[in-house]
């Protein structure tokens, strides 16, 4: 078959059509890529058109405010009483009970106790007994402070509730701070107060020491194992200390020979693991005090005490609990951490008589 040739004008028409299509395609691409959208006109908002109350509740608070709010709630509350005797200038503080305490232990409970003191004399502190596994402890304990009437308006009563832990630092649940100038002491006061987060401004910390006690009544052997100390107060100019531990045994308020650990150089967290064994007849154990003190060794000047504590039937707080647990568990070594106290406070509490050698022996 013979195919008729395509007319020349048809080829020209097809070429022109293709060129037009290509041109339109290029124009579309250029407009899409390079063209700018016209901005929309912003709609004016009139404050008069906003209905309802203030919008401040929709603004997210600052983090500091959030932390403060969290600290002020959910810690529980404390009931206490105050009675001031103007004649003898004594303030009697009654720690009644606590309720709805924050659970500090993994089992959903706490082992609470209360520390009570006045800011005018932070060295003198009282402690209640520990109540195991409860968030609603009933204390019913009272403490007396000698406070001159002129000092009352300048003093603040502090009641702090702690969760007891034998092997770790005791956690503070919360506190009540009551400026005495804000209340009328003309009559007895009894009230509830919510616990708040503890103030960060506290007295200087001297450090902590861990040791174990063991007593065997049948042999009369009292074993004191000095394990370690931590976070000791810096005593040297270079920011460290050279600590060592002294252990005194006291009978009927009379000193006996001391025992000492080795000296640990340039540390605030010394590890000792040194043991001392004393022979104490069972008939005398109720009259014995064990004084444990940490000192900073100095080759040139006199050794300085960092802190002290004592255990025995005359002790209070954690020290009394540790001593009582030792007597209740004969032959079993019991270790516990203790906070160091100012040396002068411990010496005053002991009321030591003149130094005499006791009819006891040590090994």
- Structure token digits, residue 319: 């020290």
Q: Provide DSSP, 289-315.
A: EEEEEEEE--SSS--EEEEEEEEETT-
pLDDT tens digits, 124-140: 889 999 999 999 999 99
pLDDT of residue 120: 84
Q: What is the value of pTM for the model shown?
A: 0.55
CATH number of 74-194: 2.60.40.150
Q: Name 269's Cβ contacts closer than 8 Å, sequence gap at least 6.
A: 228, 229, 230, 231, 232
Residue 308 clears pLDDT 70, i.e. is over it: yes
CB 231 within 8 A of CB 338: no
311 or 57, higher pLDDT: 311
What percentage of the chain exceeds 70 in pLDDT? 80
pLDDT of residue 73: 55
pLDDT of residue 355: 46
pLDDT of residue 88: 94
Alpha helices, DSSP H, located in the chain: 8-34, 63-72, 317-328, 343-350
Highest mean pLDDT among 2-6, 9-13, 317-321: 317-321
Q: What average pLDDT does this structure show over 83-102? A: 95
CATH 2.60.40.150 is right for the domain spanning 208-362? yes
CB 76 within 8 A of CB 174: yes
pLDDT interval class at 166 (50, 70, 90): confident
CB 357 within 8 A of CB 255: no
pLDDT interval class at 170 (50, 70, 90): confident
Domain with CATH 2.60.40.150 in the chain: 74-194, 208-362
């Amino acid at each position: 078959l013979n195919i008729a040739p395509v007319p020349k004008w048809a080829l020209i028409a097809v070429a022109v059509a293709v060129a037009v299509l290509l041109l339109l395609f290029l124009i579309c691409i250029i407009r899409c890529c390079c063209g700018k959208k016209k901005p929309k006109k912003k709609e004016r908002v009139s404050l008069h058109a906003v209905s309802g109350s203030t919008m401040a509740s929709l603004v997210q608070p600052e983090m500091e405010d959030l932390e403060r709010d969290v600290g002020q709630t959910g810690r529980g509350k404390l009931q206490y009483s105050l009675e001031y005797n103007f004649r003898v200038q004594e303030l009697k503080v009654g720690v009644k009970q606590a309720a709805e305490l924050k659970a500090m232990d993994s089992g959903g409970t706490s082992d609470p106790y209360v520390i009570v003191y006045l800011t005018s004399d932070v060295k003198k502190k009282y402690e209640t007994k520990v109540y195991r596994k409860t968030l609603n402890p009933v204390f019913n304990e009272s403490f007396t402070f000698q406070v001159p009437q002129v000092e009352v308006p300048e003093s603040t009563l502090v009641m702090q509730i702690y969760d007891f832990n034998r092997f770790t630092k005791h956690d503070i649940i919360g506190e009540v701070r009551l400026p005495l100038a804000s209340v009328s002491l003309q009559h007895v006061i009894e009230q509830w107060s919510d616990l708040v987060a503890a103030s960060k401004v506290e007295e200087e910390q001297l450090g902590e020491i861990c040791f174990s006690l063991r007593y065997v009544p049948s042999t009369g052997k009292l074993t004191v194992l000095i394990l370690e100390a931590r976070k000791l107060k810096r005593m040297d100019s270079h920011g460290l200390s050279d600590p060592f531990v002294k252990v005194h045994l006291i009978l009927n308020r009379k000193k006996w020979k001391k025992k000492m650990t080795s000296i640990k150089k340039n540390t605030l967290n010394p590890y000792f693991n040194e043991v001392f064994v004393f022979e104490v007849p069972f008939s005398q154990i109720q009259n014995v005090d064990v004084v444990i003190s940490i000192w900073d060794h100095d080759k040139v000047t006199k050794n300085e005490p960092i802190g002290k504590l004592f255990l025995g039937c005359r002790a209070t707080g954690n020290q009394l609990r540790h001593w009582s647990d030792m007597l209740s568990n004969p032959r079993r070594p019991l270790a516990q951490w203790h906070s160091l106290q100012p040396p002068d406070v411990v010496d005053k509490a002991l009321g030591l008589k003149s130094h005499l050698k006791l009819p006891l022996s040590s090994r």
